[in-house]
Amino acid sequence: MYCAIVLSIAVPLFGACMAAPMSTTSDTIVSSMPIVDLGYARYRASMYEDDGDYYLFSNIRYAAPPTGSRRFQYPEPPLYEEDVNDGSVGYACHQATNIQFKWLDLLANPESQSEDCLFLDVTVPGWIVRDQMGIFNTSVSNATITLSPLNGSGSSGGLPVMTWIHGGGFTFGEKAGVHNPKGLMKIAQGKLVYVAFNYRLGAFGFLGGKEVKAKGATNAGLHDQRMALDWIHQHIEKFGGNPDDVTVMGESAGASSIFHHLAAPEEVQFRRAILQSTASYPQYDNDILESQYRKFASMTGCDSDDSFECLMSRDGADLAEANKDAVYDTLYGTFQFGPYVDRTYVPLLPLFRLGYGTYNRDVQIMAAYNTDEGFIFSDPTVVTTRQFDALVQRHFPNATEDIIKEAKDLYPASDYRSNFRRVSSIIAEWIVECNSLYLEAAYPGTYLYRFSVPPAIHSVDLALTFWGGSPLLAKAGQTILIADNLADLAVSFQSYLVSFAISGDPNEYRLTENSMPTIYFPKSNEWPGKPMVDVGKKGFSYLSLEDDGPVAKRCEFWQNGAWTGR
């Protein structure tokens, strides 16, 4: 189904929608698409887009279906398939939303959701196929192609690869839908291969507790992502991509995923990373994780001693309903499930790992946040000081009274128009904004930017990231965002992202000639004051990360971690 976005500045754009069909140039091309042999399966391209000149290989299985005995377990390699797959069969992972985003349920088709959801899409410049097959917009006669490695920047050659990790609070979202790469591919002009993948969400991907640790896989959704990145390393050369030149890009939960991979004890599988609005609600308390598990098990009727075995045997539809109920019934602005400290892949919260210096260092970073990140995550019914105090206590159940007081003193009521705005400031910095500061400190020379196009709330920047792909997302952006020459601003913004993915330098291929030309993008250690690029309604300008001293002080408090009770 097509996605219908509610056009309201109070509504996030992180939501996933089922992928809409994309245009092709002729019936001849559609009926005779090239086929790529992956060894375990053969996939025919599902679409050729003349406006942008690229082929789409859709719904490629990168792992075995995580069903039956594979439920709640680590992902396994994909199974062998005899027939040629045309990408017409694929599912989004089971979706769930909390109370404030319940309307997103209207956008998701239950019939397009399944436990069997570990699929990815690959978008390949058309010239690569033509170069290999000696064709130019003519029938390729269902030919099986294996694209030879090209001359590239990595040791294996080939084109750089941009890989999208979708957001959605770790309970909602999918690889395609509004995340249409058409605009990015047009900006790249044949210099980039693009990949996007699904990963298990909600309880299916992030159920915690002692039973899961003993009998299943903790943080299974993160391991799905690693499996997808492993797939890229194994197979992307067949599409003309360079496995040694991968850039991961994600927004919100997608950026948080990257944050967790950077901080993991295992080596990362990417060379560069773009983290947009890294939204990471800390999950670290074993008692809370156990309570989440027991609550979910009870909702499915699995509250006996053999609860995990019971969950393994339940019908997937029953688990999907329980997952929706569990996510709906949670603290305002939170999503019940998400990456948590498991002492293995997530030894500590990522912000602590970066502070201690125990993280993957050999990665180029671009990091960003919006100017009003906390707005959509803050409960508008919190109007009195008593309500504010109660909410702070709920967010930090293990903190001492002195630490709670210190946290509140860092955000004095006198600095804000309302208690709602006070809550919004805490949420923005604790959950999102400070992560960019931590990344900059851990990766000197980070490329930093701030998205300030009004209303600059969480996720509205997606309208620019995927400009030119989804008409509905563009319409939402035109309705919500207040900017001069929004279309030119969008393509100039995209040119920074694409240039960074292609070359590691956002300046190399940036657009300099339109009504919203780009400006030179400095590294954070290139000029005094830790420079950032501001993406604003009148174009691009400079600001300094060190301009706001109070924010740095507050971020130090959050990275200190006393609020966890440790």
Check 46, 252, 378, 424 and give the catalytic one.
Answer: 252
SS3 annotation, 426-490: HHHHHHHHHHHHHHHHHCCCCEEEEECCCCCECCCCHHHHCCCCCHHHHHHHHHHCCCCCHHHHH
Pick the CATH number of 27-564 from 3.40.640.10, 3.30.300.30, 3.40.50.1820, 3.30.110.30: 3.40.50.1820
Q: Identify the CA nearest to 169 among candidates 395, 378, 342, 339.
A: 339
Collapsing DSSP to helix, strand or coil, 507 comes out as coil
Which ranges constitute the DSSP H helices of 193-236?
202-206, 210-215, 220-235
Residue 130: predicted pLDDT: 85
Whether 469 contacts 49, CB under 8 Å: no
Between helix 471-480 and helix 486-503 the angle, nearest 10°, is: 120
Beta strands in 252-354 (DSSP E): 272-276
- Report the alpha-carbon angle 316-112-11, nearest 5: 105
CA–CA separation, 366 and 487 (whole Å): 22
pLDDT at 101: 72
pTM exceeds 0.85 for this model:
yes
Q: Which residue has the tokens 């050999």?
A: 362
Domain extents in the chain: 27-564
Q: Which residues contact 7 (CB under 8 A, 6 or more apart)?
A: 475, 476, 479, 480
252 catalytic? Reply is yes
Q: List the chain pLDDT tens, one digit each, 566 residues.
A: 223 222 222 333 333 333 333 333 344 444 578 999 999 999 999 999 999 999 999 999 999 999 999 999 999 999 999 999 999 999 999 999 987 777 666 666 767 899 999 999 999 999 998 887 643 333 444 555 554 444 333 345 799 999 999 999 999 999 998 899 999 999 999 999 999 999 999 999 999 999 999 999 999 999 999 999 999 999 999 999 999 999 999 999 999 999 999 999 999 999 999 999 999 899 999 999 999 999 999 999 998 889 999 999 999 999 999 999 999 989 999 999 999 999 999 999 999 999 999 999 999 999 999 999 999 999 999 999 999 999 999 999 999 999 999 999 999 999 999 999 999 999 999 999 999 999 999 999 999 999 999 999 999 999 999 999 988 888 889 999 999 999 999 999 999 999 999 999 999 999 999 999 999 999 999 999 999 999 999 999 999 988 777 899 999 999 999 999 97
* Residues forming beta bridges with residue 123, ordered by sequence position: 56, 194
- Helix (DSSP H) and strand (DSSP E) numbers for the chain: 19, 15
58-112 pLDDT, tens digit each: 999 999 999 999 999 999 999 999 999 999 999 999 999 987 777 666 666 767 8
Q: How many whole angstroms separate alpha carbon 371 and alpha carbon 415? A: 17
Q: Do the beta carbons of residue 115 and residue 204 sit within 8 Å?
A: yes
